[in-house]
Chains A and B, each alone.
Chain A
Amino acid sequence: MKNTYVIATNVVSPLGFSTEDNFEHIQAQKSGLSFQEFDFTNELFCVSKMQESIVNQRFKVFGDFKDEYSKLEKMCILSVADALKQTTYNCLGKDSVLIFCSTKGNIDLLENIVQNQRFDVGLLLAETAHKIAEFLGFENKPIVVSNACVSGTQGILVGKRFIDAGIYNNVVVLGGDLVTKFTVSGFKAFNALSAEPCQPFDDNRKGVNLGEGAATVILSNKSNEDKDQIIVKAGFSSNDATHISAPSRTGQGLLKAIQKISEVSDLEDIDFVSAHGTATRYNDDMESQALARADLNFVPIHSLKGYFGHTLGAAGVLESVMGIASLQHNQTIISKGFEVSGTVQNLNPIKSVENKPLRSFLKTSSGFGGCNAAVLFSKINL
């Protein structure tokens, strides 16, 4: 099987509009989390939310658009456009496709739809993807993957498989989701939100913070010729088949996805795990179980939720991009918010930024519906 190369990346978040901006800021221990108001309560929520005015300001590089594009669409277009600039390959033609990964897209439109009792097609994920793809000039119709919080990681997996199968030569995987009253009130109803900045894997962890962002990974069957390459080496997904809103206590589905990777690729030498790490009691315990059963619990691990919050459908792409940046910079990323070990099986969260050769990492995601996905990224020397 030919390699699937990562030829460009981008992250758009409150911490910046490029992979480099975001990486620099998280390495300086900055976080996008802040306390924000929502109109249904006096309570403040700790979320990572982008200022609309800054997104609009940035979007002006494309011309003067008023309300034709939503905040999410603008973030997504900015993300993909920046990634496209990094490669000389044409990733817009007949041999290329855009995969949009999202859980809720423009769900903020629903309030007006209910208010006015008039449907707005902007709510449909396929329509959002179409608008983004058309603006950027993709010839093919985009593909949308919506698999809860696994969407982004699953999208990378789908992209790799399209390339393996020879269906496309280039796949632009885009993840994007917003922080809205819709999701905040839902996670609140689940008692899953932490009032303070989240603490993945910590004994004191009290839940998740939501975040918004857009992120892009461009995959190709051809490498950029100039430098060390990162490839998507292997990946699998698996359903727990136990519960729709609680992860398997034994980490069964995640373990299966990881085990399938280990059947085709060596996992002994991986440098770190970029975990889902939502900082809920159940999720982090589940991950510790799965990793311990796979003999990977002593591998250095980070969760990026303390920097970006949980960006839902974008998380798998966004966190993969930061993991890729960590390999490219040969610099570890601290698992922000971790102090005291507090998972059922002991894990090894990264506590300091270290410069050292890094060659590969495992990205894992888990989500509602019992879905789990794991992808192995690895450096190869040309």
Chain B
Amino acid sequence: MKTSIQHICHISQQTISLDGKMVFHLDNQLESNEFLNESYRFLQIDYPKFFKMDILAKIAFVATEFICKGLILKDINKDSVGIVLGNKSSSLVADLTHQRSIQDKNAHFPSPAVFVYTLPNIMMGEMSIRHGFSNENTLFISDKFDPETLEKYTNHLFKERIIEHCIGGWVDAHPGNYEAFIYFVGTGKSTLWGEHTAENILALKQHSAEEITENCHKIPFVSETISSEY
């Protein structure tokens, strides 16, 4: 079965690119959390739960939101959308927050609202809740981006007709840095981004990272507002 990459969203260096276009960028250096909050505001959606999320879930949420804005979601069976992601640092940022709340036995104040985010797959739960995706979630952890495992596993899910669409990619956050490279996979040909193969995924990620590095300092630009299909 032919599977293809239909949309891509890449977030790094305070820049968000969607399908090769820079759609959001902030010049002044912000904390990761502040940048993500600003990008949420740019999306003009009403989803206050966003502010409860940790960095990892926020970045996955924002990238998925940009991708889903480009999709005609009513034509997609939500039950047929799988999520297969890669990550390196697990939930390190939330883990550190929880650890600091228990580090000193005389000042022990763990919070369930923090603890729940000490699992990296929570980001996929947040994506599922937001968009109603109720198929499989799998999170692979690796020391670096591993498109081979993502491709092989995802394509098997397509072949066995377990899923009809998939949100794939890499979402990682550690103190001081973050990156999301998220793509939407479907069946059939895509003239835009080509086949869903490990080589292509890797090339697309590298290319879009280079574009972000090249362009992120040249802007400020005024981005057109993206139309919503909701």
User: Which of B78, B99, B126, B160 has its CB near the most chain A CB atoms (within 10 A)?
Assistant: B99
Q: For window 89-120 of chain B, which residues contact chain A by CB distance below 8 Å?
A: 89-90, 92, 95-96, 98-100, 102-103, 105, 108, 110-112, 115-116, 118-120
Task: Find chain B residues with CB under 8 A from A41 CB.
Answer: 105, 108
**With A125-B90, A165-B159, A239-B134 given, is the CB distance from A144 to B121 under 8 Å?**
no
Task: Find chain B residues with CB under 8 A from A253 CB.
Answer: 134
**With A124-B143, A145-B140, A186-B118 given, is the CB distance from A240 to B88 under 8 Å?**
no
Find B122's partner among A107, A114, A242, A369 (CB 8 Å cutoff): A369
Q: Counting CB contacts under 8 A, is B125 at the interface?
A: yes
Q: Is the CB of A40 within 8 A of B105?
A: yes
Q: Counting CB contacts under 8 A, is A92 at the interface?
A: no
Task: Find chain B residues with CB under 8 A from A185 CB.
Answer: 98, 102, 108, 110
Q: Counting CB contacts under 8 A, is A65 at the interface?
A: no
Q: Is the CB of A124 within 8 A of B88?
A: yes
Q: Counting CB contacts under 8 A, is B133 at the interface?
A: yes
- Give B101 Cβ to nearest chain A Cβ, in Å: 8
Q: Is the CB of B143 within 8 A of A114?
A: no
Q: Counting CB contacts under 8 A, is A370 at the interface?
A: yes
Task: Find chain A residues with CB under 8 A from B78 CB.
Answer: 241
Q: Counting CB contacts under 8 A, is A244 at the interface?
A: yes
Q: For window 157-205 of chain B, which residues contact chain A by CB distance below 8 Å?
A: 157, 159-160, 162
Q: Counting CB contacts under 8 A, is B42 at the interface?
A: no
Q: Is the CB of B134 within 8 A of A115?
A: no
- Give A208 Cβ to nearest chain B Cβ, in Å: 14
Find B125's partner among A154, A186, A371 (CB 8 Å cutoff): A371
- Give B147 Cβ to nearest chain A Cβ, in Å: 13
User: Which of A115, A187, A256, A369 has its CB near the most chain B CB atoms (within 10 A)?
Assistant: A369
Q: Is the CB of B96 within 8 A of A114?
A: yes
Complex CA–CA separation, A371 to B82 (angstroms): 12
Q: Is the CB of B129 within 8 A of A243?
A: yes
Task: Find chain B residues with CB under 8 A from A161 CB.
Answer: 153, 156-157, 160
Q: For window 119-162 of chain B, which residues contact chain A by CB distance below 8 Å?
A: 119-122, 124-126, 128-129, 131-143, 149, 152-153, 156-157, 159-160, 162
Find B112's partner among A110, A124, A189 (CB 8 Å cutoff): A189
Task: Find chain B residues with CB under 8 A from A105 CB.
Answer: 90
Q: Is the CB of A188 within 8 A of B110?
A: yes
Task: Find chain A residues with CB under 8 A from B141 CB.
Answer: 124-126, 144-146
Task: Find chain A residues with CB under 8 A from B136 CB.
Answer: 236-239
A192's nearest neighbour on chain B, judged by CB, is B112
Q: Counting CB contacts under 8 A, is A245 at the interface?
A: yes
- Give A356 Cβ to nearest chain B Cβ, in Å: 34
Complex CA–CA separation, A125 to B138 (angstroms): 15
B162's nearest neighbour on chain A, judged by CB, is A236
**With A110-B96, A189-B111 given, is the CB distance from A239 to B116 under 8 Å?**
no
Chain B contact residues: over half helix, strand or loop, or mixed?
Answer: mixed
Complex CA–CA separation, A244 to B99 (angstroms): 20
Q: Mark contacts of A245-267 with chain B using CB atoms, 8 A cut-off: 1 yes-contact digit, 0 otherwise.
A: 10000001100100010000000
- Give A43 Cβ to nearest chain B Cβ, in Å: 11
- Give A214 Cβ to nearest chain B Cβ, in Å: 17
Q: Is the CB of A371 within 8 A of B121?
A: yes
Task: Find chain B residues with CB under 8 A from A190 CB.
Answer: 112, 115-116
Q: Is the CB of A144 within 8 A of B140?
A: yes
Task: Find chain B residues with CB under 8 A from A256 CB.
Answer: 79, 134
Task: Find chain A residues with CB under 8 A from B116 CB.
Answer: 190, 244-245, 368
Per the CB 8 Å criterion, the residue count for chain A at the interface is 59
Q: Mark contacts of A25-43 with chain B using CB atoms, 8 A cut-off: 1 yes-contact digit, 0 otherwise.
A: 0000000000000011100
Q: Counting CB contacts under 8 A, is A103 at the interface?
A: yes
Q: For window 121-139 of chain A, which residues contact chain B by CB distance below 8 Å?
A: 123-127, 130
Q: Is the CB of B149 within 8 A of A369?
A: no
Task: Find chain B residues with CB under 8 A from A371 CB.
Answer: 121, 124-125, 137
A100's nearest neighbour on chain B, judged by CB, is B141
Complex CA–CA separation, A154 to B111 (angstroms): 28
Complex CA–CA separation, A355 to B183 (angstroms): 52
Q: Is the CB of B134 within 8 A of A167?
A: no
Q: Is the CB of A239 within 8 A of B95?
A: no
Task: Find chain A residues with CB under 8 A from B121 CB.
Answer: 146-148, 367-369, 371
Q: Is the CB of A370 within 8 A of B128?
A: yes
**With A236-B162, A239-B124, A369-B122 given, is the CB distance from A145 to B138 under 8 Å?**
yes
A312's nearest neighbour on chain B, judged by CB, is B119
Q: Counting CB contacts under 8 A, is A111 at the interface?
A: yes
Find A144's partner among B126, B142, B152 (CB 8 Å cutoff): B142
Q: Counting CB contacts under 8 A, is A164 at the interface?
A: yes
Task: Find chain B residues with CB under 8 A from A40 CB.
Answer: 102, 105, 108
Q: Is the CB of A111 within 8 A of B137?
A: no
Interface residues of B, Cβ cutoff 8 Å to A: 78-79, 83, 87-90, 92, 95-96, 98-100, 102-103, 105, 108, 110-112, 115-116, 118-122, 124-126, 128-129, 131-143, 149, 152-153, 156-157, 159-160, 162
Given contact pairs A145-B138, A244-B116, enumerate 7 new A-B contacts (beta carbons under 8 Å): A110-B96, A125-B90, A143-B140, A182-B99, A186-B110, A368-B116, A371-B137
The 10 closest A-B pairs by CB, nearest first: A369-B125, A186-B115, A144-B141, A239-B128, A165-B156, A189-B110, A241-B128, A126-B143, A40-B105, A245-B116
Q: List 23 A-B contacts (CB under 8 A).
A: A41-B108, A104-B118, A124-B88, A124-B89, A124-B141, A127-B143, A144-B142, A145-B139, A146-B139, A148-B121, A148-B122, A158-B138, A161-B157, A185-B98, A186-B115, A189-B110, A190-B116, A239-B124, A239-B135, A240-B134, A241-B131, A367-B119, A367-B121
